[in-house]
Amino acid sequence: MNNDKIKIQFLGAAGTVTGSKFLVTAFGKKILIDCGLFQGLKELRQLNWQPLAVSAKTIDIVLLTHAHLDHTGYLPLLVKHGFKGTINGTSPTLQIAEIILKDSAKIQEEDAIRANKFHYSKHKPALPLYGLPEVENTLPLFQQQPLNEWIGINEHIRYRFRYNGHIIGATFIELQIGDKTIVFSGDIGREIDPLLYPPEKPEKADVLFIEATYGNRLHPAEPAINSLEQLINRCAARNGTIIIPSFSVERTQLLMYLFWQLKKTRKIPGIPIYMDSPMGRNVLEVFHHNTEWHKLSPDECFEMCNTIKRIKGVDEAYALAEDNNPKIIIAGSGMAAGGRVLTYFEKYLGDKNATILWVGFQAEGTRGRALLDGATEIKMRGRFYPVKAHIENIEGLSGHADQNGLVDWMNKLTSMPEKIFIVHSEEEGAKGLQEKIRETFGWIAHIPQLNETIQI
């Protein structure tokens, strides 16, 4: 075998934390690892409208590490532009990807309608990146694959998915091309997680792609449930409403679990708790039907769900926003990029008794990052809203491994990889992990740039 024939292009998640896409070309096959949307900064989001550096028609197969939008959200465009291969992932990944893509399409369609109605887009007319028809054309290409079983692409190439924590269904991918093993970490979960099992670890990687979302940071030593208890009690003492923007996959379910535990032990006030995320409700069903992927029993899932009131429709959401009684609302999306949480922001950002509580990573260019950085006003739906609410943050709830967790995930490797690429990170996180890898193992890791191409 001639290993010089392996070419890898960084089509996303290089120099940034979103838009994961890695194209592997070998033995006449083009394999796309993940197919995500860019999020955050405007210049990144504009990349979603640009054609890929490779024709979608030439790609043979897509392998998904997990279902988050920054790993799957570009799939409808890939299909629209001519991709006709299979899209492969674990059963929960494909179930959640369907939920996420439909939700993404719906939000984009609604945003375009609103922009045209209120004339706050420079585009005439404003159009969605894609809509529900493009998603419906994508779903027939989904092909469920098992954990831990090698699956052949051709006589020279095979792959397998391995459990990785982070969210339900998430995996890292081992791709064998001839005598080379290339490992794509996807997003790595935490060793101790209330809902999910610890991630497995690779034993061999000639080439390693490792995420570094938290590459320069450590999670707090104090258990997240203790931090949440203290913060909720402090905020509730102001007798105001607490809004928690939350990622609909895993983070919302984790918050529901923690609130259930705190309510059972009466460690927080008895104010009502609401979950307003249509996608979050659907993901709960995936939890119910995939019990082998997480720690909760069916009875525990049922009891947890009955503790939290779930909002069903838009009218109910508007009524809840207008209710002046103290309450806790968990609503999508996690970085306040869109979704139901904006309805509550419109009402409560200007309320000095209200609290906006962040519970996850906030990428550059998002409303979440702006608020954490002290913004005094935020633009939403064509208008600027003053910020008077209290802005709070809990870091210990992240579903990502921190710097120590990332290094620990590498410690079963029996030999030094020939190449290590640090991806899915902003600059400081990538450099932090790069230095930690050098200190710990004496290995040199490369931080690639967008659209860079390398030969193995």
Confidence of residue 363 (pLDDT cuts 50, 70, 90): confident
pLDDT for res 112: 86
The single-letter code of the amino acid at 417 is: P
Cite the DSSP H helix spans in 241-355: 251-264, 278-289, 298-307, 314-322, 341-348
CA dihedral for 10, 13, 15, 18, sign (positive or negative): positive
Q: Give the pair of three-digit tokens for residue 295.
A: 């720690």
Q: What percent of the chain has pLDDT over 90?
A: 79
- Between CA 241 and CA 340 the distance in angstroms is 16
Confidence of residue 83 (pLDDT cuts 50, 70, 90): very high
The single-letter code of the amino acid at 63 is: L
Q: What percent of the chain has pLDDT over 70?
A: 99
3-state secondary structure of 305: helix
pLDDT for res 249: 84
Tell me how many degrees the CA angle 56-62-65 measures, rounded to the nearest 5: 135
Find where tokens 């492969």 sit: 88
CA dihedral for 278, 283, 287, 290, sign (positive or negative): positive
Round the average pLDDT of the chain to a whole number and report it: 93
Global pTM value: 0.90
The single-letter code of the amino acid at 332 is: G
For residue range 268-285, list pLDDT tens digits in order: 999 999 999 878 888 888
Q: Give the strand order in the sheet containing 86-89.
A: 142-144, 86-89, 61-63, 29-33, 22-26, 7-10, 453-455
Average pLDDT over residues 203-221: 96
Inter-helix orientation angle 278-289/298-307, to 10°: 160
- Going by DSSP bridges, is the β-strand pair 7-10/453-455 parallel, antiparallel, or unpaired? antiparallel
Contact at 8 Å (CB) between 212 and 425?
yes
Q: Give the pair of three-digit tokens for residue 274.
A: 């609401």
Per-residue exposure over 334-355, b if at least 16 CB sit within 10 Å of its own CB, e if not: bbbbbbbbbbbbebbbebeebb
- Between CA 32 and CA 159 the distance in angstroms is 12
- Between CA 240 and CA 435 the distance in angstroms is 44
pLDDT for res 277: 84
Q: Give the pair of three-digit tokens for residue 61.
A: 């197969």
Lowest-pLDDT range, 118-127, 193-202, 231-240, 397-406?
Answer: 118-127
